[in-house]
Chain A
């Protein structure tokens, strides 16, 4: 059965509200649910690390077992770095994944064009590969002015990101060094 997040909230909300009413008897509680992520029968909890800055706060990502969709994120109380707390960016992590403004298609703007075209990933990756090869070869330097062998390309620079994890950094470093890049930077130093 396919259940969207909205439907899921509705269902769990009704169940929670009924439960609350039955338990308290006298209380008229709001019918709308705020209880996403509390029902462990339907929710799977996965630990993760906040991608935004170098502090590396622990997060708990709660996903719906049926759909695999994220329904809530919050700080991981067991994590030694943040002990459950989060800043504004960390607290907003949910909408990094669940966001109507998020791009789901490759968009391409041709040189001198004033509009975006939708493309496939295969098309985009091939195009990136071709352009990287072209730039790398065009900017490749075998020997420097002193005649020393350097085997580097000066035609490409790489700017990394604080959102990269250790393994991604290793992969990128390996790729960039093997292409012969020397201009490898990170946003935190700029």
Chain B
């Protein structure tokens, strides 16, 4: 079965961070105390109570004085998740793939102990985080309860601009090609989809992926 997928069209993102907060709100994750570091990116990184984070990068640009890239980052839900391969070596089925293709970390990740670091390192996108209090590995779970009930994931539901899209994988792949063609027309040939065949959270970027996020691709 093809399952579900996301298309994250960064060219439509205004970095309102509605997705980031909707995720926090739905999962009832607490706020963390942060400091102003000179960027709107806040908190500075994903953490045990932030499964989705909007990353901000700015670069000088000859044409527009500066460009500002937004990258709403969460788990990519890989088609063949390397985190699962790694985790299965230590605690079988502490990471599973659900019927929609969502990669799910469950309570058994608490049994990973010191091996949790190896599972974290196994993720090419640097997504899993350790909940220091419960010792469980946590990350985006594709809102499986909502999707099961026929709802959109909280982040996608909140997106006002159409940057975040979710649906059947076949439909999303088609939409991705349409949006890619639009982006190439507007932003030039650098526009690309990041690893569309490997992941279920496909990013469309207008420039080199690494300019958006250190771990945008590998």
Contact = CB atoms under 8 A, between A and B. Distances in A.
Interface residues of B, number: 36
Given A34-B26, A92-B21, A82 B160 contact: yes
A2 to B, nearest CB: 20
A33 to B, nearest CB: 7
Contacts of B141: 30, 34
Contact of B22 (A33, A77, A86): A86
Interface in A50-90: 72-75, 77, 82, 84-90
B96 A29 contact: yes
Nearest to A86: B158
Interface in A16-70: 16, 20, 24, 27-36, 38
A34 B107 contact: no
Contact of A32 (B24, B107, B143, B146): B107
Interface string B16-34: 1111111011111000000
A27 B107 CA distance: 13
Contact of A91 (B22, B93, B145): B22
A74 B149 contact: no
Nearest to A6: B28
Contact of A30 (B19, B25, B26, B106): B106
A92 B21 CA distance: 6
B108 interface: yes
B23 to A, nearest CB: 9
Interface residues of A, number: 33
Interface in B139-155: 141, 143-146, 148-149, 151-152, 154
B212 interface: no
A95 B145 contact: no
Given A29-B106, A88-B20, A95-B25, A75 B146 contact: no
B190 interface: no
Nearest to B93: A28
B158 to A, nearest CB: 5
B22 A74 contact: yes
A84 B98 contact: no
Contacts of A82: 160
A140 interface: no
B184 interface: no
Contacts of A9: 28
Contacts of B19: 91
Contacts of B106: 28-31
A24 B26 CA distance: 24
A30 B104 contact: yes
A75 B98 contact: no
A38 B148 CA distance: 10
B25 A27 contact: no
Name which of B19, B145, B152 has the most chain A CB atoms within 10 A of its CB: B145
Contacts of A30: 104-107, 141
Interface of A: 9, 16, 20, 24, 27-36, 38, 72-75, 77, 82, 84-95
26 contacts: A20-B145, A24-B99, A27-B99, A28-B93, A28-B106, A28-B108, A29-B106, A30-B105, A30-B106, A30-B107, A30-B141, A31-B107, A33-B145, A34-B26, A38-B145, A38-B146, A38-B151, A74-B25, A74-B154, A86-B160, A88-B16, A88-B17, A91-B19, A91-B25, A91-B158, A94-B25
